[in-house]
Structure 1
Amino acid sequence: MSIQAAFTAALLDPQRSCPEGLCSANGADPASRFAVYRNNVQSSLIDALADSYPVVVQLVGDEFFRAMARLYVQSCPPQSPLLNDYGKDFAEFIDSFEPAASVPYLADVARLERLRVQAYHAADAQPLGHEQIAAVLSNPQALSELTLGLHPSLNLLTSAFAVVSIWAAHQQDATLAGIDLGHGQNALVLRNELEVEVFAIDHGASTFIQNLRLGQPLSQALESASAFDLSQTLALLISHNAITHLHHNQVSL
């Protein structure tokens, strides 16, 4: 194993000894300096996870979270130089982390928080004007082949738990009292200008929006969606600047 590989392996594994070949410019013990450096690296990654998953931290407490995150850091080293990319599979780790099993909704809350991070860093796109969209949608004959382009930050999450209500309660210093935690919710996440927004939407609306994201025309997107309020869903997308393009008969707006 090369010095670089040994250094990387030991950096995230506290059971490994200081790699051979290291030296200190001021004569200090290399093993002691390396131990300090390793602790700083791991602490920085744990802090980054805590910043990305603040509601997860609140749900389990700082001590539990940091212990769980430390194990994640040791088993899942960064794969990108961008720190905001780190922890994208943290929810899957939580799913397999047995001590967290007593909080069954924890992984889905983590998934929701990851979508918020992704939305914040998503590419910019200029939304269409509300009047422009309304003019096109007011023509019933044009709707059958109309395709809507949605903002790059928009994403969806379907959960068996009340993830939006759980997340929202922790934005207002509220408690989970009164929330039916086992009542599944569908989340819509998007960035409206500089603000990342989260909404609970009907399952049918979620299916409809997902179909639009897949490029299906408006009429086709409706076919596989269970009953929902189409006008309300379109109004939500329009009012929060989620529609960026309209395509019809090879013409784009």
Structure 2
Amino acid sequence: MKLPWLDELAPFPPSASALGPGSDAPGLLAAGGGLSVDRLVNAYRRGIFPWYADGQPVLWWTPDPRMLLPVADFRLHRSLRKTLQRFLRTPGCEVRFDSAFRRVIDACANTPRLGQPGTWIVPEMVDAYVRLHEAGVAHSVETWIDGELVGGLYGLGLGRMVFGESMFAHRTDASKIALAALVAFCRAHQIEQIDCQQHTGHLASLGAAPVSRTRFEAHLAATVALPGPARWAYDAEDWTLLGIPPGPQVASLSP
């Protein structure tokens, strides 16, 4: 099969035409087309995302199956629950939304990962997602200790769907704290699923599970056009939706 090459105006091909499980790149759909805000929003609305290495063209993917985290199934393991309770009681420990988006995505790109010699978050991708953030589409959830950014994640919010992209931790469990805060936020705003794109054992341990591309696309069709959160902001009271007292952080820490 010849991979479709997109120009700036070319539409995406049907997702069913993506390379199948017997290929060298299962889920690969097309190449090219650039990373404009409109192109990226259109892609995510259809369950398509860019993923490529430095020196490659933009590559677009729609894997089958797709890894999703139903927020109702999030596994708050006993150890993480204790970590969260201690974090929320400790002065100087904060969760923030959207206060340092570029720092978060830069940290995701530059934090070494076991078994990964490089990163797919190339400079062109960083600039593109910063533009998405400026357009109110991409968001960060951040873990801070004594004024230091120690962990976090970033992703997209479209309607009542959240698309997780990457996370990092410079302190133990710092990214898990951010993910738990995102899950609590989603529960508070009737967002049922977080897209995790591809399977990892870590995500599976937290409740994520694979679903077929067909089922995923049906969920997108039903949710991305719905009214989303009026504002992406941290609210300490959301922790109660995970069964955790909010502690002293009762006010929003978002700008």
After TM superposition, the score normalised by the length of structure 2 is 0.27
Structure ranking higher in helix proportion: 1
Structure ranking higher in strand proportion: 2
After TM superposition, the score normalised by the length of structure 1 is 0.27
The higher radius of gyration belongs to 1
